[in-house]
């Protein structure tokens, strides 16, 4: 199976919107985490989204280079080959990119897709995110218009954000001291976003409703999903039912399952999963090392156990654990068993 075409990705979003479910968007940084996400999607018979942050791109390009755009191109090209092994649809996205990084990150990635299209190949990416949420809304929308136009020329969907997701995660715009009023997108903001962008191309919108990046104990995150409902109602009251926006849920770790599922009825079609996936990957590695300390290290002049310090031994466990966490996300978001593979 190739990575979803632009038309297939649009149909994925339409199906989620109409069916009140959402796709997990799993952040990956390597071949191993790519495989983990795809394994989780395939075993859940769920389509899904894989995304790369600027930090992931820097990591993938190597310590000697730290080239975010180049690393993301490498990961995306690998994803196109790996996805051929699975019978589900997978779309590729880039995560938070602030305006000051857009020229050196988003533009080269859009150009890479344009180059593939010129050769008759499919899009490298189906979706990019421009996170200009730290700017005043008028400035945010001005730069969002610029990049939505560039994306639309290449059948790429642009994800935008207004309001700030609190906390910090791999370059995200928020911080732990984000003023509370900035954590909630207003209905007026949602109307303004729709009116500024809807004629330029397809976009998704990361509205904020108290969501916070990072991991917190259950109950610590104070979500207000009704903000999404009220914002959508304001947009549709002014522009009709067809104006309902495709919404994105950032910062879901620590959220109650009931709150996550409530958002699905208000237009959320994508939920980012990063922190939980990272922990799922790391936990079995730590377990392996702690249980086999004398084997993975050469203690007191001993030789250790090559079979146990071979990185493949513990990275296989990490891949399996992350795949299982991906499957949990599919279940939470009600996307399991709903692949469109072979139908579109």
Tens digits of residue pLDDT in 236-274? 999 999 999 999 999 777 788 999 999 999 999 999 999
Q: How many domains does the chain have?
A: 1
Does residue 338 lie within any of the structural domains? no
Known catalytic residues? 95
The model's pLDDT over 172-229, given as tens digits with 9 standing for 90+, comes to 444 445 455 566 899 999 999 999 999 999 999 999 888 775 555 555 557 889 999 9
Does residue 238 fall inside a structural domain? Answer: yes
Give the pair of three-digit tokens for residue 2: 């190739």
- 2: confidence class by pLDDT, cuts 50, 70, 90: confident
152 in any annotated domain? yes
- pLDDT of 254: 74
Sign of CA dihedral 318, 319, 324, 329: positive
228 within some domain: yes
What lies within 8 Å, CB to CB, of 225 at 6+ separation is 209, 259, 262, 263, 266
Percent of the chain with pLDDT over 90: 85
Tally of CA atoms within 13 A in the half-sphere of 302 that contains its CB: 11
Are the CB atoms for 163 and 207 separated by under 8 Å?
A: yes
pLDDT at 173: 45
Please say whether the beta carbons of 232 and 190 come within 8 A: yes
Domain that holds residue 85: 6-332
Residue 249 in domain: yes
Q: What is the pLDDT of residue 175?
A: 44
Whether residue 177 is contained in a domain is answered as yes
**pLDDT tens-digit readout, 56-100:** 999 999 999 999 999 999 999 999 999 999 999 999 999 999 999
pLDDT value at residue 118: 98
Four-residue CA torsion sign, 64, 29, 210, 105 = positive
Give 152's Cβ-side CA count (13 Å radius): 14
pLDDT at 211: 72
With respect to residue 1, please indicate whether it lies within any of the assigned structural domains: no
Q: Check if the beta carbon of residue 24 is closer than 8 Å to that of residue 329.
A: yes
* 212 vs 23: CA distance, rounded Å: 19
pLDDT the model gives residue 167: 46
Domain containing residue 84: CATH number: 3.20.20.70
**340 within domain boundaries:** no
Task: Give pLDDT tens digits for 42-56.
Answer: 999 999 999 999 999
User: Alpha-carbon distance 105 to 103, whole Å?
Assistant: 6
């Amino acid at each position: 199976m190739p990575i979803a075409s632009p038309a297939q990705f649009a149909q994925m979003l339409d199906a989620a919107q109409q069916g009140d479910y959402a796709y997990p968007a799993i952040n990956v940084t390597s071949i191993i985490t790519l495989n983990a996400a795809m394994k989780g999607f395939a075993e859940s018979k769920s389509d899904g989204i894989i995304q790369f942050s600027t930090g992931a791109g820097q990591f993938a390009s190597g310590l000697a280079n730290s080239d975010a755009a180049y690393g993301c191109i490498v990961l995306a090209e690998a994803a196109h080959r790996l996805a051929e092994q699975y019978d589900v649809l997978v779309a590729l996205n880039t995560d938070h990119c602030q305006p000051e990084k857009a020229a050196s990150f988003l533009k080269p990635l859009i150009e890479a897709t344009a180059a593939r299209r010129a050769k008759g190949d499919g899009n490298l990416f189906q979706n990019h995110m421009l996170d200009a949420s730290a700017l005043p809304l008028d400035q945010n929308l001005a730069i969002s218009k610029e990049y939505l136009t560039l994306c639309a020329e290449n059948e790429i969907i642009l994800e935008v954000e207004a309001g700030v997701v609190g906390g910090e995660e791999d370059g995200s715009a928020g911080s732990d001291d984000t003023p509370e009023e900035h954590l909630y997108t207003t209905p007026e903001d949602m109307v303004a976003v729709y009116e500024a962008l809807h004629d330029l191309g397809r976009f998704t919108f990361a509205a904020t409703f108290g969501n916070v990046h990072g991991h917190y104990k259950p109950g610590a995150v104070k979500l207000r999903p009704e903000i999404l409902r009220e914002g959508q109602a304001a947009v549709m009251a002014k522009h009709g039912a067809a104006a309902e926006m495709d919404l994105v849920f950032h910062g879901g770790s620590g959220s109650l399952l009931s709150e996550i599922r409530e958002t699905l009825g208000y237009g959320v079609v994508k939920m980012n999963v990063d922190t939980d996936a990272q922990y799922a990957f790391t936990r079995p590695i730590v377990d392996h090392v702690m249980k086999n300390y004398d084997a993975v290290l050469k203690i007191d002049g001993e030789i250790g156990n090559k079979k146990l310090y071979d990185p493949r031994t513990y990275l296989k466990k990490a891949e399996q654990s992350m795949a299982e966490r991906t499957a949990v996300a599919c279940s939470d978001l009600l996307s399991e068993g709903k692949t469109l593979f072979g139908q579109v």
